[in-house]
Amino acid sequence: MQEIKFFNGENIPLELHKVRVVQKLHLVPIERRLEALHEGGFNTFKLKTKDVFLDMLTDSGTNAMSDNQMAAMMQADDAYAGSQSFERLQKAVEDVLGKKYYLPVHQGRAAENILSVAYVKNGSLVPMNYHFTTAMAHITTNGGKIAELLYDEAYVINSDHPFKGNMNIEKLEEIIKLHEPKNVPFIRMEASTNLIGGQPFSVKNLRDVRALADKYGIRLVLDASLLGENAYLVMKREEEFKNSTMAEIIKTMTDLADIVYFSARKLSSSRGGGICTNNVEVYKELEAYIPLYEGFLTYGGISSREIEAMTVGLYETLDETMISQSPSFIKYLVDSLDKKGVPVIKPAGVLGAHIDAMQICAHIPQSEYPAGALAAALYLISGIRGMERGSVSNQRDEYGNETYADMELVRLAVPRRVFTLSQIKYVEDRVHWLYQNRHLIGGLRFVYEPPVLRFFMGGLEPVNDWTHQLIAKFKEDFGESL
Ligand SMILES: Cc1ncc(COP(=O)(O)O)c(C=O)c1O
């Protein structure tokens, strides 16, 4: 994509779209924000949007839809079986992802459920570059274990490594030999590792994984939920692809996988999801689970309108001006925070900016959830809702012990084409203020802890009265400002 320079030398991202439908936001007073935190158990998942100013929880289902996606929804062909909307979607999957056989599911985790039910059993081991919460939960629920095999550089916060999501090839081979290929139902590669900073892997790395999959006769599964952005960073960072199109890069990547699955809430700015393959045997192995868990084979739990939006959204994933918007805003935010000394994952990746609670809240032990505390504190002083991506998001081990996360991050998601630059500047300003006052943030403890995926519905409380001290300092510095 051509660079757009400003005469004044400023280096800021420029929106290449116009806004024609808007939604009013509310910035409620800090006293109400404290009440909302108590009502929601200091868990940002349990806040209500009427109390949230900038919703940076996730990009899942929150990317802005295009005019063409909205228009396509009107031609939805509602039919239980054999809908024309589904035929259009099938064609889009083949055109964009290069896979002939497509099984629709209602969202990404439904694909993970089906893959796990079909292929994982007691004693299975699934190697992956890094886990995603729901992917891991489905594998372990079916009796399997996971092995995360990133290189050491993936865990370095302040780095300039372009592909921190790369699979550690040497460790992958070691672990396959150790556990024997027959116990490895598939290798899972996640595009733009969600939980550790939205970091991409290179095509070269994926080719190396493919070679090992071939050598040991193991299926290679690609989680393509964030594939568009991963492909965009391949274009920017991998020499071989600097003159390739998005379509070429995406096809190169999906061609290397036996099975591709995705959350359409992310990939195509719609709802829905899917599993696709060119292997008819795989298709047949999985087919029967769709009517059982999702719906008939031509809708899979997705409404026909969303199927139409998904079709257009898949083609739009190939548009560089669309796909580059979120990474360019993230880069702006990451670079601005970095200049102010705020520890933030570098290089900037996709999905969001990830601030490092382990450093910012070094005074809070992991047993008191520094990332959860930082996410709550940020909401309190700004109305910005981020997501905890640390130990609260981890699950306990089989003996009920805490498993502390490798990283304690607060993710500030930047959904595609949702925020303006002044809103991003507000984020930068309030995160900076909070960083300067970080010593006032205290820890959290669970008061309600669900056994599975506890981060969604769990309830916590502050370990002491730190919220009041933070509010007092906010009032001192901002007066009556919201
Ligand atoms: C990489 C990745 N895989 C799978 C999923 C699960 O998708 P869904 O939320 O649609 O169930 C997500 C969701 O955030 C994700 O980021």
Give the ligand 1 atom nearest the CA of 110: 11
Residue 76, class by beta-carbon neighbours within 10 Å (0-12 exposed, 13-18 middle, 19+ buried)? middle
CA of 110 to the centre of ligand 1 (A): 10
Cβ(265) – ligand 1 distance below 6 Å: yes
Give the span between the Cα atoms of 479 and 173, in whole angstroms. 59
Q: Is 80 considered catalytic here?
A: yes
Q: Is the CB of 301 under 6 A from ligand 1?
A: no
- The catalytically annotated residue of 186, 232, 455, 474 is 455
Query: What pLDDT score was predicted for residue 277?
Result: 98
Q: What contacts 202, CB < 8 A, 6 or more positions away?
A: 162, 163, 166, 234, 237, 238
Nearest to 230 by CA among 101, 129, 338, 342: 129
Active site residue 133: yes
**Does 223 participate in catalysis according to the annotation?**
yes
pLDDT at 247: 98
Give the atom of ligand 1 at the shortest distance from the alpha carbon of 60: 14
* Neighbour tally for 159: CB within 10 Å: 15
Q: Which H or E element spans position 446?
A: strand 444-448
Lowest mean pLDDT among 3-12, 124-133, 182-191, 307-316: 3-12
Q: How many CB atoms lie within 10 A of CB 346?
A: 21
Domain 67-318 has CATH 3.40.640.10: yes
Q: Which pairs with CB-CB distance under 8 Å and at least 24 residues apart come from 30-36? A: 30/380, 30/381, 30/471, 30/474, 30/475, 30/482, 31/471, 33/379, 33/380, 33/383, 34/380, 34/467, 34/471, 36/379
Judging by beta carbons within 10 Å of its beta carbon (0-12, 13-18, 19+), is residue 72 exposed, middle or buried? buried
Statement: the pTM of the whole predicted model exceeds 0.85:
yes
pLDDT confidence band for 452 (50 / 70 / 90):
confident
Dihedral over Cα of 211, 212, 216, 218: its sign: negative
Provide the mean pLDDT of the chain. Answer: 97
| 8 A C-beta contact, residue 389 and residue 349 | no
Distance in Å, CA 225 to ligand 1 centroid: 6
Q: Which contiguous run of DSSP H or E holds residue 353?
A: strand 352-356
Ligand 1 centre to CA of 481 (Å) is 37
Q: What is the pLDDT of residue 3?
A: 81
Q: Is the pLDDT of residue 40 over 90?
A: yes
CATH architecture of 30-59+322-478: Alpha-Beta Complex (3.90)
User: For position 395, what pLDDT does the model report?
Assistant: 84
Q: Which of 6, 18, 20, 80 is catalytic?
A: 80
Q: What is the distance in A from the centroid of ligand 1 to the CA of 105?
A: 12
Both tokens assigned to 203: 């095509």
**CATH 3.40.640.10 domain span(s) along the chain:** 67-318
Per residue in 205-259, pLDDT tens?
999 999 999 999 999 999 999 999 999 999 999 999 999 999 999 999 999 999 9
> How many C-alpha atoms does 422 have within 13 Å on its Cβ side?
0
pLDDT tens profile 264-296: 999 999 999 999 999 999 999 999 999 999 999
Q: Is 132 in the pocket of ligand 1 (CB under 6 A)?
A: yes
Residue 465 annotated to the active site? no
Q: Where are the alpha helices (DSSP H) in 153-262?
A: 169-179, 203-216, 227-237, 246-255
108 C-alpha to ligand 1 centroid (Å): 5
Residues of the chain with CATH 3.90.1150.10: 30-59+322-478
Between CA 120 and CA 304 the distance in angstroms is 31
pLDDT in tens, 118-141: 999 999 999 999 999 999 999 999
| 311-368 pLDDT per residue, tens | 999 999 999 999 999 999 999 999 999 999 999 999 999 999 999 999 999 999 999 9
Residues 6+ apart with CB under 8 A from 38: 461
- Ligand 1 atom, smallest distance to 263 CA: 10
- Under the banding of pLDDT at 50, 70 and 90, the label for residue 430 is very high
Q: Could you count the other beta carbons within 10 Å of the beta carbon of residue 348?
A: 24
293 is catalytic: no
Q: What is the atom index within ligand 1 of the atom nearest the CA of 191?
A: 1
Three-state DSSP class for 195?
Answer: helix
Q: Is 266 a catalytic site residue?
A: yes
The residue annotated as part of the active site, out of 164, 265, 346, 389, is 389
Residues 406, 411: Cα–Cα separation, whole Å: 15
Residue 443, pLDDT > 70, answer yes
Phi, psi of 307 (to 5 degrees): -65, -40
| DSSP label at residue 158 | B
Helices (runs of H) and strands (runs of E) counted in the chain: 20, 14
Quick: pLDDT tens for 56-74: 999 999 999 999 999 999 9
What are the CB-based long-range contacts (under 8 Å, 24+) for 175-183? Answer: 175/125, 175/127, 175/147, 175/149, 176/127, 176/212, 176/216, 176/218, 179/125, 181/216, 181/217, 181/218, 183/123, 183/124, 183/125
Q: What is the pLDDT of residue 1?
A: 67
Task: Read off the amino acid at residue 207.
Answer: R
Q: Nearest residue CA, atom 7 of ligand 1?
A: 108
- Quote the ligand 1 centre to 283 CA distance (angstroms): 21
Measured in residues, the chain has a length of: 482
Whether residue 225 has its Cβ less than 6 Å from ligand 1: yes
Question: Ligand 1, from 139, 195, 263: best to mutate by most atoms within 8 Å of Cβ?
Answer: 263
| Residue indicated by tokens 């209500």 | 48
Contact assessment for residue 416 and residue 462, using Cβ atoms and an 8 Å cutoff: no
C-beta 107 within 6 A of ligand 1: yes
83, two tokens:
């809908």
Asked if 460 contacts 41 with a C-beta cutoff of 8 angstroms, the reply is: yes
Which among 17, 13, 58 has a CA at the least distance from the CA of 322?
17
Closest CA relative to residue 356, chosen from 341, 60, 455: 341
Ligand 1 pocket member 415 (CB < 6 A): no
H or E element that contains 127: strand 125-128
